[in-house]
Structure 1
C-alpha cells in the first residue's frame, strides 16, 4: 500500500450529473427549459422536492425544500411528479455515452460515474481532453439539457470533491503539487463523509475550518476520527492513494432489500396503508427472486401524522417533509423463503399487532424490508418440500409480470394501490431492469 503522492497526473475522473432528475424532465419537456422546475414524489404541499433545476435553485429551492414553501419562494415554479423509470433509462444512456470515451469503472449512485485513467491518459492535457469529450458525448448521444461537472484528481476522494467545486457544467482538476492548499478554502461539509453530525463532533473537538483540519498531522487525524478513516483522509487530501482510494467499501453479500413510500393523501388510512404495504412487498419479493436470494426475516415501519395537540402531548419527531410524526415498527423471523404468499402471511401477522388509538389513525409512510438474505446456492431445502406449491406459484407470477409488467398478476390485497408506490430511486441505489420494468 503506497501513501506517496503521485506525480502531477490525474488518475481519476468523477462525473456528477447536474440537477439530474430536473434536467431529465427538461430534456423530455423542452417547454420547461430555462424555467424553474422541481421534481416531487407526489403532488402535495406537505411533501418535499427531491430535485430542483438551476433556475429553481436561484430562488433557493433545493432538494428537501417543502413543496408549499417552494411555491412561496418561487411562485412560477413548475412541479413535476417524478418518473423514476425514465431517470433509470437516462442514467444508463449517459453511462453508455461516457463509456464511448472512457470506460466507467464505478457507479457510486444513479447520477455519478467514475473513470480510471491509465498510461498517458493521466497527463493533464490528455485528461482534460477526455473530460471535454465526455461532456460532448453526453450532449450528442443523450440530450442537450443534460450537463455534468467533472472533477479530475489523483484519487477518487479528491475527484469527487473537485466535481462539486464548479457547478453547473464545471471542470476542475486537483494536481498533487497543488495539494492540500487547493482545498483549504472549502467548508468541512464539502468533504464526502462529513455530514451535520460529523461536523458537530469536529466542532466539539475544536476543528471548525478546513485550515485547522489540514494543519493536523497523520497522528492528529487518526486521533480526531478515532479510526483508520483519519489516516486515510490525511493521505487523500494530499493526493495519496490508500488502496480503496476513497471508494465505498461494501460487504461481499447483500444483507437486505426493500421499498418504502410516502403515501398520497388519498391513501393515508389503515386500508390505504395496507394496500401500499402489499404493493411494496410484491415488488420486494419479486426482486428477491430475481436477485436469487432467500430471506429469513422481515421488518415493517409505519409513520403516523400527528395533530399539533398530539405532538405537544407526546414525544414526537419531525419528518423531512415537515410532518410531526410518531412511528411504529416490528420485525418477524421465519423459515427461509422467497415466495410471496409466505411473506404476505408474515406481514399480515405483524400488521395485526400495529398500535391503535387516535394518534395512530393517520399513516403517511410505510416501509417493508426483507433481511437476513441468503444466496440461493447456500439455502437448505425443507425436509418435506414446498407445501402448496408456493414457489411454483411465485415463479408463474414472475414469468407473466416480467413479460407484461410487474403489476400484471398479484394478490388482491394490493389492488387499490396497484398504480401507486411506483419505483423510487435512492441516489445511492440504481434500479435494475427486470423484464419491461425497473425496480
Structure 2
C-alpha cells in the first residue's frame, strides 16, 4: 500500500490570511515618516525587553520578533523603536475583519493577525478563489489602510492554507492544490509547519526525519508513534489535503504579566501591579464563563533571578477571592528589586461543570457583575479596587498572538 499522498484533486476549501508585520505595519500606516524605515515595536521603552514586532526593513538587518532591544540596536543602529499601542491594534484588527467579511465570511480568527475563511460551492473554483483573495487584499487597503499588506494561502485544508500563506511574504498569494502534493512542500523546512516547534523538531531528528520529503513518505502509524498520539495521525491527513473536523479546545490557564518600568521597580509598586494583573485575569475569566481553582504568582528580579509560587482556591471567578489568594502568595516572596511580575489562574473549569460550594458568597458575584457591566459600558478601569489606583495606567492592554482583547 502506497504511503504517498493521493493525487486525486480535492476542492480548495480554505483561504488563510496572514497580516504582514502587523504591529509595525499599523505604526507605518499611521506615521508616514516611518514608511520604508526599520521599525520595531516594543512593550516598554527599556533595553531589558524584546521586540514584539519588526518591519520588513528591520527584518533585513536580522531584527525579528523576540530580538532583545539591545541586540536590535546593535544589528540596526538606525532602528526606530515604537512603544506598542495594543488597544489601537485591536481596533484595527476588528476593522480588518469587517473588511474581509465584506468579501467573504470569516470562519475562524486564529490570532490578532491571522484569520481563515471557509470556501463554499463555486468559491472553491481556483479562479474564483484567487479573485476573492485579491478582492480581500484590496478591501483592506480601501477600507482600513492603504499601506497594509497581507499574505493569503489557498488550500484543501486550513493547515495547508496556513502553510501557503507563509510561503510568500510580504503581500503573497500562494495556492496549494492536492494535485501539487507532496512535491510542493519539499522545499520547506520541517519547522516551517505549524505545530513543529523546537522540541518537536528535535524529536523528528531523533527519529531520523530530517526533510519534509521524508516526513511525507511515512505511514500514518509511524507519525502517530513519532508524535506519541493522535496529532501524528492528524498531521498525516493534513499533509494529504484532508479537511479534518477540529476537536473543541478547552482553556487551561488565563493570566497576564508585565515588565515594570524603572519608576515602578519597588516591592510596593510591584504588588499593586500584580493586583491589577489579577483583576484583569479575573474579568477575562468571567467573560469566558469559567471558574479557576488555583492562582500562580511569579516575580523576576533585576539580577535575573526569578521566583514563583502557587496556591489552590475554592473554584471561583470573583476578583476578591483571587486577590485574597494573591495576598497569601505575596507574603512568601523573597527580597529583591523586582523587574517583572505575573499572575496566572489555572485549573480552569467551564461554568457548566462548576461545582457549587457552601463557601461561595453570592454578594461577591453580584458585585463583580455590576463592576463588569460598568467597565464594559464606559471603558476599562472605570471601576476598580483601590489598591491599584496609583498604578492603574501600568500594565495596559497587551495582545497575546492567540487571543484578541475585547474593546470596552
* Runs (4+) off by over 6 Å: none
- Give the aligned partner of residue 271 of structure 2: 274
Change (3 A) 1:332 1:218: closer
**Is 1:424 aligned to 2:398, yes or no?**
yes
What is the rounded CA distance, in whole Å, between the counterparts of 2:269 and 2:358 in structure 1? 39
SS of 1:136's partner is helix
Matches within 5 A, 1:101-180: 101-180=103-182
- How far off is 1:210 after superposition? 1.7
SS in 2 for 1:372: strand
SS at match of 1:329: strand
Partner of 1:287: 284
Q: Distance between the aligned counterparts of 2:222 and 2:274, measured in 1?
A: 49
Task: Give the 3-state SS of the residue equivalent to 2:142 in structure 1.
Answer: helix
Matched residue, 2:381: 407
Does 2:345 correspond to 1:370?
A: yes
Aligned equivalents of 1:163 and 1:384: distance in 2? 51
Match of 1:79 among 58, 78, 81: 81
- Counterparts of 1:88-107 in structure 2 under 5 Å? 88-107=90-109
Counterparts in 2 of 1:237 and 1:355: CA distance versus 1, 3 Å? same
Q: Structure 1: 5+ residue runs without aligned partners? A: 307-324
Check conservation: 1:10, 1:154, Cα contact below 8 A.
yes
> Contact (CA 8 Å) 2:15, 2:153: kept in 1 or not?
yes
Deviates more, 1:405-414 or 1:144-153: 405-414
The CA deviation string for residues 362-395 of structure 1, in whole angstroms up to 9 with x for no partner, is: 32221112233344555565558738x4344434
Query: SS at the partner of 2:305?
Result: strand
Query: Does 2:74 align with 1:50?
Result: no
What is the CA–CA distance in structure 1 between the aligned matches of 2:329 and 2:248, rounded to whole Å? 31
**Which residue number corresponds to residue 206 of structure 1?**
208
Contact 1:5-1:240 at 8 Å conserved across structures: no
Instruction: Answer whether contact 2:203 2:226 (CA < 8 A) is retained.
Output: no
Q: 1:58 deviation in Å?
A: 1.2
> Which one of the candidate residues 217, 221, 224 is aligned to 1:222?
224
- The equivalences for 1:292-311 within 5 A come to 292-306=289-303
Tell me the residue number matched to 1:337: 316
Aligned residues, how many? 404
Alpha-carbon distance change, 75 to 384 in structure 1, aligned in 2, over 3 angstroms = closer
* 8 Å contact from structure 1 (residues 38, 79) kept in 2: yes
Q: Corresponding residue for 1:321?
A: none
Separation in 2, partners of 1:222, 1:285: 38
Match of residue 332 from structure 2 = 353
Where do residues 19-34 of structure 1 align in structure 2 (5 Å cutoff)?
19-34=21-36
The separation in 1 between residues aligned to 2:12 and 2:359, in whole angstroms, is 60
Find the aligned partners of 1:266 and 1:431 in 2 and give their Cα distance: 27
- After the TM superposition, which residues 188-199 of structure 1 pair with which residues of structure 2 at under 5 Å, given as runs? 188-199=190-201
Give the 3 Å change call, closer, same or farther, for CA 341–232 of structure 1 in structure 2.
Answer: closer
Partners in 1 of 2:29 and 2:355 — Cα distance? 49
